Structure 1
Amino acid sequence: MEVYDWLSNLDMPSNYKPFEVIEVKFKGARKEFYLNSDNIYLEIGELIAVEGSTGGYDIGHVSLTGELVRMQMKRRKTPIDQVVRKVYRKATEADVDKWKLAKDLEWETMHKARTLALDLRLSMKISDVDYQGDKTKATFFYTAEGRVDFRELIKKMAETFRIRIEMRQIGMRQEAGRLGGIGSCGRELCCSTWLTNFKTVSTAAARYQNLSLNTLKLAGQCGKLKCCLNYELDTYLDALKDIPDRVENLQTEIGTARHQKTDIFKKLMWFSYPNQEDWIPLKVDRVKEIMAMNKRGQKPINLKDEAVELTTTVFVEKTPDYENVVGQDSLTRLDDKPKNKNSRNNNRNKNNAQNRPERGGKPGQPSVKAGQPSVKPNQPAVKPGQPAPKQSNQGVKPGQPAQKAAQNNQKPVENRRNQEPKKAPEAVKTEDGEVTKAPSANRNNRSRNNRRRNKPSDKPKNEEN
């Protein structure tokens, strides 16, 4: 509203007459021109009721008004005399409700029409249905390789749907534009959003842009070549004017240099000698001079002396002026792959093996290897200059080596065969003269043995026996 208020305040010529034709957009990017003979004030995007093509009325959105419509008509080469249909009114609530009910029937109608076409065995594909705003006419859009005789199909559809039917054949590009979708670029298809005029696309457009002639990559959802191949074609054609055509080899005194690739915008051409991996960059002007020399029968000495030095751009990483607490600014924070499950299991087994008590030890104490003296917990370390603590020679037999003796010292204490029998507790007299027995040590030993029997033993079967 602010824009129109500003335009109304402008000093317009006294004899100025607003352009009476407007552009209306319908479903599937269909746009048509209508006469606003009653000079109704309309804004872009409004729903209006216009005259139908075969009677009745249709509902559409206003897409252009004013002098822009005159320019659009010139671009489409549509004379003003051909615009006959009129604008009736702005759409009322009843018109909008009826229009929405008609649009809800399109999906079901299309599927029923497809089943009727399959029953008649017609080689056609019904891709879309467009109901008129007053729900009295439906236009069926279909694709086919050739002409189709659908007279019998129209009779059956008229009996089924009870409306006027119009069949319209469209191409593959128009079908993709009506159905819509997402392209390989990640955006919505151009033909379904803003592109209305389809131009022919050839494989020459891909050759000029040095693209690989892969049909899977160059084709769009319609199965034809992508329309976006023509977007930058003019820029490439302007850049190719200064680059010579059909440059294959350059003759030098060392040998023949073969053309490898061309950078169109930097105007550089790469050549290489046979049996050499390095490529020699040359400017386009110098390549033209060498080609003229070869025509005169002259040859340069070596192309490597005339190679262009290529400067590499160095990217300097900017340090942020704030403290990165979370660490989300790093692009490589997710590059560290998690470790395999096997390595995790191995680490768990190692930790369990370290914490597992050895034979005769207690949980939480380090295991004693063979050949090392047993160290008790909380034992003070030996200072230099002091004699080492004496080791017990229990279980050492005469003539036995030291290693076996150390292994004998590590035998579990649970083995009662080598232990001396403990004496029974003596009776104790109290002041009253009663005789009581001291607490038996065998009871404590029995409870310990029961606990050890209930625990799973870590010994192998052959050692338990």
Structure 2
Amino acid sequence: MPGVIEVRFKGNRRGAYAWDAPAAPRLHAAVIVEAERGEDLGFVHAVTGVGASACDGCDSCDPAEPVVEGERPCVVRLAGEADLAEHARLREDEDQVRRDVAARAAAAGLAMRISDAEWQWDRQRLTVYFTAERRVDFRGLVRDLAARYRTRIDLRQIGVRDEAARLGGIGRCGREFCCSTWLTQPGPVNLGLAKDQRLSLNPAQISGGCGRLLCCLKYEHQFYVEARKRFPKEGRIVTTLQGEEKVIAVDPLREQVALRGADGTTRSLPLVRFTAETRAARGEGTVGT
């Protein structure tokens, strides 16, 4: 039974490959793998169980896809120095390819922005990624590029979030984009996530490098939803030992409740103290010192 490894390519592109050998390759080792037409070079990202399926401890990873035995592509061999040298030459060439494709697209009057170009290691395929506001008829451009580079051309339209994942960058937190390092399926993000967490709704404050809402708005959302169930609703009138007061703010992280009395004075107290005071005001207990 062959093992399974996860191989990572340019732009955070990943794939699972069968490894039919006694010992699995080490992490980050360069390997030659089977491609749809020919061979490609990538780097080992995960080995055996980690590469074969997603963990079941959270829902942030890609779900494991069932694979029919014999249909999973295989690792051909470990890459040698000559293979890595060719890989480096291809990476150097891709920026010039991107500029050339962009110039040809502009000359053809196509409303598309070329984001990236990626050679397959054996030069049997050239994949060009682009963004566009609407559907683009690029059949003429494909024929032009096929004649120019004499290989199979694959033009792929991607969204701005996919573009950010491919190109990478540094987020507001000072770390690399989640989508370009570990977050393979960001999922939908909406403004309600920011509202539930009482975050600023200023787009400049809650948008990522792609211009869309930050994917990390989802990370702590469930905590806030569950935590707020223990707090009174803001704007509610409550009875405490100081009489009727209005809840003006709650802070789930600090476990604090801010109140305003009938005379306009405000105070902030821990949730535990607030709960004890409201219970005591109803005659259901006492408040300790």
- TM-score, length-scaled by structure 2: 0.84
What pairs up with 1:204-219 in 2 under 5 angstroms? 204-219=192-207
Q: In structure 1, what is the equivalent of residue 59 of structure 2?
A: none
* Alignment size in residue pairs: 278
For 2:91, the equivalent position in structure 1 comes to 103
Map 1:3-402 onto structure 2 (within 5 A): 19-39=2-22, 41-53=24-36, 55-72=37-54, 76-81=63-68, 83-245=71-233, 247-250=235-238, 257-273=245-261, 276-279=264-267, 281=269, 283-286=273-276, 289=279
Q: Secondary structure at the match of 2:137?
A: coil
User: How far did residue 234 of structure 1 move?
Assistant: 2.6
Q: Deviations over 1:314-352 (max 9, x none)?
A: xxxxxxxxxxxxxxxxxxxxxxxxxxxxxxxxxxxxxxx
C-alpha spacing 1:266/1:189, structure 2 compared with 1 (3 Å): closer
Structure-2 separation of matches of 1:253 and 1:190: 48
Is the 1:98–1:135 contact (alpha carbons within 8 Å) kept by the matching residues of 2? no
What runs of 5+ residues in structure 2 fail to find an aligned partner? Answer: 57-61
SS of residue in 2 equivalent to 1:152 = helix
Distance in 1, matches of 2:78 and 2:39, equals 12
**Structure 1 pair 164/194, CA: closer, same or farther in 2 (3 Å)?**
same
Q: Deviations over 1:146-179 (max 9, x none)?
A: 3211101111112222221101222211111111
Contact conserved, 1:20 with 1:39, CA < 8 A, in 2?
no
Per-residue deviation at 1:47? Answer: 0.9
Tell whether the 8 Å contact from 1:129 to 1:140 is kept in structure 2 after alignment. Answer: yes
Distance change (3 Å), C-alpha of 1:40 and 1:51: farther
Q: CA deviation at 1:142?
A: 1.3
Q: Report how far residue 225 of structure 1 moved.
A: 1.0
Residue by residue over 1:381-411, the C-alpha shift from the partner in whole angstroms, topping out at 9 and shown as x without a partner, is: xxxxxxxxxxxxxxxxxxxxxxxxxxxxxxx
Asked whether the 8 Å contact 2:6–2:51 carries over to 1, the reply is yes
Q: Greater Rg, structure 1 or structure 2?
A: 1
Letter in 1 for 2:275: D
The whole-number CA distance in structure 2 between the counterparts of 1:106 and 1:216 is 32
Q: Secondary structure at the match of 1:149?
A: coil
Counterpart-to-counterpart distance in 2, 1:133 and 1:252: 72
Provide the rounded CA distance (Å) in 1 between the counterparts of 2:220 and 2:242.
40
**Equivalent-residue separation in structure 1 for 2:135 and 2:156 (angstroms):** 11
Q: Structure 1 vs Structure 2: percent identity of aligned residues?
A: 34
Structure 1 residues not aligned, in runs of 5+:
1-16, 294-305, 310-465
Deviation at 1:253, TM superposition (A): 12
**More strand as a share of residues:** 2
State the alpha-carbon separation in 2 of the partners of residues 287 and 213 from structure 1.
34
Secondary structure in 2 matching 1:279: strand
Question: Structure 2 vs 1, CA of residues 244 and 159 (structure 1 numbering), >3 Å: closer, same or farther?
Answer: same
Matches of 1:180 and 1:287, distance apart in 2: 51
- Greater relative contact order, per chain length (Cα 8 Å cut-off, separation 6+): 2
Q: What is the alpha-carbon distance in structure 1 between the residues aligned to residue 260 and residue 23 of structure 2?
A: 72
